[in-house]
Structure 1
Amino acid sequence: MTDQALSDTERRHKLWTLIKDIKFGMFTTHHANGHLHSRPMTLQNKDIDEGESLWFFMSRSGDPYADVAHSSQVNVVFADASADSYVSVSGMAGPDEDRSRRQALWNKAAEAWFPQGVDDPDLVLVRVRISHASYWDVKSSKLTQLYAMAKAAVTGKPPKDLGETGEVRMK
């Protein structure tokens, strides 16, 4: 079921609700050699609704940041398999040099990677300005899903109404 009946505000809230408890996203960049590279990155957003941005701490000397510097177009995928919810976010990434923002997002986990704290010269805060996001939130039980898929296999018609899907455009 597509969430077309929801308003833009409701779809944005749904997006943040699905992301809020997932700490790691697969951050995909374009490498200089043309390949796509994905790696797990820790989401630094602290509030449910962070507006139109995702925040990540990166090493200035690391490959992910080099990829962002080469091509700012990125994708971040979040998955909560136990809740059957999935989110794909596309946007433009770039450094944010606001020290107060770095300080506001700072946490003990970040300190493990950047022992000199928010002023570590290797630390860069990367902002992903969301341009588009898609989400899938399966509401049906596993048994209902299996039944629907078995029925689809017999009838040749894809299963319907297993959950909600939606799209969010920020720009």
Structure 2
Amino acid sequence: MSKEKSAHDRLWDMIKDIRFGMLTHRHPEGGLHAHPLTTQNKELGPKGILYFFVSRKTELGQRLRADGNVGLSYGDPNKDVWVSISGTARISEDRDAIERLFNPMAKAWFPGGATDPDLELVEVHIDHAEYWDVKESKPTQLFKMAAAAVSGKKPQLGEHREVAV
């Protein structure tokens, strides 16, 4: 008998192979700004925290210290998977986490390794997530959308779910 995955595990399954997420934060003037960042997690632990490395030379750390309310977007158009996450970001000085998460790809940006003085670790504590997972093939999607246009009823495509973490 197979055990159905929790919403938490399902969320991780959808984003774990997406190389970049777009992290959106608010500028002091009120405008929104997004940055492509690589998720450093090897898993999504029970606390629902996503990790990213950023450069101290950028303004991102300063912005997150001033206002940690963020949005994260992940998308995989080949699989028709779309994820929107809202959470609270903070700069972490957790040396154990930095050592554990540091990897050869991060070394391209931070040649000094896990102790590179330019490296900052961003933790995003997930508050809420929403996802759309369209399982139908492209021809089936087109057929359903055409049928909906004719019938006036919204097409039922894939799975849409909200997750509180």
User: The TM-score by the shorter chain falls in which range?
Assistant: over 0.9
- How far apart, CA to CA, are the structure 1 residues paired with 2:105 and 2:41? 13
Percent of matched pairs sharing the same residue: 47
> Residue 30 of structure 2: which of 28, 34, 46 is its match?
34
Q: Could you say which residue in structure 2 is the equivalent of 1:3?
A: none
Q: Could you say which residue in structure 1 is the equivalent of 2:7?
A: 11
For residue 144 of structure 1, report the CA deviation from its aligned partner.
0.8
CA shift digits 1:41-71 (9 cap, x unpaired): 0100012x33310000011231222221221
> Residue 23 of structure 1: which of 14, 19, 25 is its match?
19
Q: Could you say which residue in structure 1 is the equivalent of 2:129?
A: 133
Asked if 1:111 corresponds to 2:123, the answer is no
Which one-letter code corresponds to 1:64 in the other structure?
Answer: L
Equivalent position SS for 2:85: strand
Asked if 1:152 corresponds to 2:148, the answer is yes
For residue 109 of structure 1, report the CA deviation from its aligned partner.
1.4
The answer as to whether partners of 1:29 and 1:75 remain within 8 angstroms in 2 is yes
- How far apart, CA to CA, are the structure 1 residues paired with 2:134 and 2:120? 36
Equivalent position SS for 1:90: strand
For residue 159 of structure 1, report the CA deviation from its aligned partner.
0.4
- How far apart, CA to CA, are the structure 1 residues paired with 2:144 and 2:61? 43
Q: Could you say which residue in structure 2 is the equivalent of 1:167?
A: 162
Runs (5+) with no aligned partner, structure 2: none
TM-score normalised by L of structure 1: 0.90
TM-score normalised by L of structure 2: 0.93
Q: Which has the higher contact order (CA 8 A, sep 6+)?
A: 1
For residue 118 of structure 1, report the CA deviation from its aligned partner.
1.2
Equivalent position SS for 2:29: coil
- How far apart, CA to CA, are the structure 2 residues paired with 1:33 and 1:59? 22
Q: Could you say which residue in structure 2 is the equivalent of 1:55?
A: 51
CA shift digits 1:1-38 (9 cap, x unpaired): xxxxxx9x711111011011112101101112211001
Superposition map of 1:76-115 within 5 A? 76-115=72-111
* Number of residue equivalences: 161
For residue 154 of structure 1, report the CA deviation from its aligned partner.
1.1
Higher mean Cα deviation, 61-70 or 88-97?
A: 61-70
RMSD across aligned C-alpha pairs, in angstroms? Answer: 1.3
Equivalent position SS for 2:88: strand
